Structure 1
């Protein structure tokens, strides 16, 4: 069922229910009015009858019956019965429509006025007294014309309700069509957007309503998708280029080695060079796999409680194991009294990879091959700084330093692929932290990491 049909049916059901309650209320109050009006007529007939028959100025019962049968205002199937204090009938109109027992007579004497029904016949009983007599008068009749009006009113209300429901249904169709027209327009525009034309955007319109919010949200999503596609194409392009270079070198060395006979030492040199190129490809592949894996946030569920200072010492130990010529100094200016303040919630492998990368960069780009690491404790976070006295970074390159495969213009022949810092930033983002870099050309670089204690 479409939204348009659902809205139409809900709108019709709501209005139909309200109209039905309105019509039933009119019928109910009209029925009460008819009942009260007819009771007043019956009561008036009762008082008039007893006054004419037993009041100060009386007429004979025969004359009263004659007048009662021929008056214009006589009620349909009317019957009048008058009882004295001994429960004896002293007047009856003679139609024998009504049967009254002693219980009802006593009820009338107690309550003075009683109104009740026998089938379609409605009866009014009154207790009439004067100086000498006490009478119980019953007047009964069938409200033929009142019920006819009620039936006619019921028919009018039923037909009117049905007609109005049909009108509301078609009006609801038109209303829902106009209300959903902007969404239909958005759907048509979205259907035209494919992977090859992500530059298209949905028209937001001029009204400040939910449709504009929907279009604006979808356009923002398209911006993110377009950026993701652009980054993907850039990633594939850079990855292909970075892989092509060592593979071309390996292929060239193998071809040269096959052209002529060489000594064992020469073959060893070729194999050594091939091994270095192969290791370079492995490091690049690992970096690419890590970068691709982090983009899916699959490691978020592996967070545990870690002691940050121990993680820094572990990273230092592993890096010195492969580069014993590096110098890494770790400093903790203020150790907290409580060891619990050293713990952080995070992923040990990811954070250690960041620390190793930043330590290695500090040593690799520094002539003295050394880096200083400082761990500071802030009220709600840890601050870790990596400082070197290396070649620094050109100011124009700083805004791009965290982009995948980007390398500063002054790195020269220093090995690397431009993946490490982009990986570091992604990992720190996953830990809801921040990473900033400050560098002065030929003086050194300082990278600062802020990690929240809990998130």
Structure 2
């Protein structure tokens, strides 16, 4: 059953239940009120009958005539019977042949005033002592008119219920189609989504309701899925590229080496080449495992001097980029050596600092790179500033993603893993990491807590 059909049926059922309850209350109120009015009229008629038949000797002719007029007006549709103490009928208008039983008369004498009803009549009994004797006045009214009105009310409410259910069903069906229209639109848009266009957000409805919030949340999920697909694609490209070169080198060397017998010197040379390539593969795997959170520093957390770590990094940088040595400036402006001691996973943080400085040198395009280490607000701040093309503002948040590379890197080789790995390492070691960039260059800042 569709949501629209369920909504229509629920609305119709709810209306039916509510209408039935209201109809029951109206019907019950009508019956109780009508019977109360009937018995009240019978009581009035009973008193007039007693005065008309039994008080004639005590009233003046004028007063009795006035009572006669009222009495005749009241008994048009009412039967009146007056019984004496022995149970004999003394007076009456004879509209109803059925006489009161002795038990009924005795009950009236005992209780004074009694009201009751039978299958076809309403009765009111009145005990009326008089100077002529002890009398019982019994008045009765046919309830056929009341029953007709009651049946007419039931018929009217039944027809109203049927018409109301039909109207509610049609109205609910139309309203459910209108309310379901945004959901239908969402379904169509979702069915059009493919792996290559997950970044396309669904159109938000104009109403600020739960559906708007749901679609907004779903768009966020699509964005994260799209980012994960990009990461997956970049990861495959990275692994295939980075693993291809070492494996091709190992394979080529072993194939050539296996063609004929080799001298010990040649064995040693090939072994060193293969070990170098294997070491490169191991380094790539280590980076991937750290990035995935599957590996931690085997040396554990310890205290070390940040300036010594920085000098070790610079040695590796100049070893890789010897031509950049005159372009890289290092300024350590911390006079007290004890203030340079920090705590963390040294190997990991050395890798993070190396990745950032390596990126700065790589993308500086032959321009100077400034590295400063200084104290600020009770912390050590290591700043790396290059003067390269910078990172487009729309991509500043994306460069933190693994394997993401900026759109303006050109032909500069890279994997897109260095910066994301540095961010992850800083987070795991409690080091604040900040990145700012514009067309004049990029600035990365590490903030270490001092001991």
Query: Are positions 1:48 and 2:74 aligned together?
Result: no
Query: Are positions 1:187 and 2:187 aligned together?
Result: yes
Aligned to 1:106, the other structure's residue is in SS state helix
* CA distance 1:255–1:373, change in 2 (3 Å): farther
The 8 Å contact of residues 38 and 143 in structure 1, kept in 2 or not, is answered as no
Q: Give deviations 1:282-313, integer Å, cap 9, x for gaps.
A: 2212322443x34xxx99xx9xxxxxx97234
Query: Are positions 1:219 and 2:219 aligned together?
Result: yes
2:99 counterpart residue number: 96
Distance 2:417 2:75 in 1: 109
Return the TM-score normalized by structure 2: 0.67
* CA distance 1:276–1:70, change in 2 (3 Å): closer
Q: Give deviations 1:306-353, integer Å, cap 9, x for gaps.
A: xxx97234999xx9xx99x99xx9987599xxxxxx99xxxx9xx677
Q: CA deviation at 1:215?
A: 3.3
The 8 Å contact of residues 238 and 415 in structure 2, kept in 1 or not, is answered as no
Within 5 Å, give how 1:229-378 maps onto structure 2. Answer: 229-258=229-258, 262-291=262-291, 293-294=292-293, 311-313=301-303, 354-355=348-349, 357-358=351-352
Q: CA deviation at 1:277?
A: 0.9
The 8 Å contact of residues 120 and 144 in structure 2, kept in 1 or not, is answered as no
* CA distance 1:331–1:244, change in 2 (3 Å): farther
Distance 2:430 2:8 in 1: 47
Distance 1:418 1:190 in 2: 31
The 8 Å contact of residues 108 and 126 in structure 2, kept in 1 or not, is answered as no
Distance 1:212 1:152 in 2: 50
Distance 1:449 1:393 in 2: 21
Within 5 Å, give how 1:435-450 maps onto structure 2. Answer: 435-436=433-434, 447-448=446-447
Distance 1:256 1:429 in 2: 46
What value does the CA root-mean-square deviation take over the aligned residues?
A: 4.9
* CA distance 1:283–1:417, change in 2 (3 Å): farther
The 8 Å contact of residues 79 and 95 in structure 1, kept in 2 or not, is answered as no
Q: Give deviations 1:13-63, integer Å, cap 9, x for gaps.
A: 22112211221222112112320221123113212221221113699xxxx
The 8 Å contact of residues 43 and 124 in structure 2, kept in 1 or not, is answered as yes
* CA distance 1:172–1:418, change in 2 (3 Å): closer
1:36 counterpart residue number: 36
Return the TM-score normalized by structure 1: 0.66
Distance 1:24 1:353 in 2: 83
Distance 2:399 2:13 in 1: 62
* CA distance 1:375–1:356, change in 2 (3 Å): farther
Distance 1:128 1:433 in 2: 106
* CA distance 1:406–1:144, change in 2 (3 Å): closer
The 8 Å contact of residues 105 and 136 in structure 2, kept in 1 or not, is answered as no
1:146 counterpart residue number: 146
The 8 Å contact of residues 382 and 445 in structure 2, kept in 1 or not, is answered as yes
The 8 Å contact of residues 43 and 124 in structure 1, kept in 2 or not, is answered as yes
2:77 counterpart residue number: 74
Q: CA deviation at 1:165?
A: 1.4
1:105 counterpart residue number: 109
**Higher mean Cα deviation, 42-51 or 250-259?**
250-259
Q: CA deviation at 1:182?
A: 1.4
Distance 2:189 2:346 in 1: 47
Q: Give deviations 1:121-145, integer Å, cap 9, x for gaps.
A: 4322335467787654232344121
* CA distance 1:406–1:38, change in 2 (3 Å): closer
* CA distance 1:36–1:281, change in 2 (3 Å): same
Distance 2:189 2:84 in 1: 89
Distance 1:190 1:225 in 2: 14
Structure 2: where are the runs of 5+ without partners? 62-70, 317-333, 362-371, 407-413
The 8 Å contact of residues 435 and 449 in structure 1, kept in 2 or not, is answered as no
* CA distance 1:354–1:140, change in 2 (3 Å): farther
* CA distance 1:91–1:243, change in 2 (3 Å): same
* CA distance 1:360–1:186, change in 2 (3 Å): closer
Distance 1:249 1:434 in 2: 40
Distance 2:242 2:187 in 1: 42
Aligned to 1:100, the other structure's residue is in SS state helix
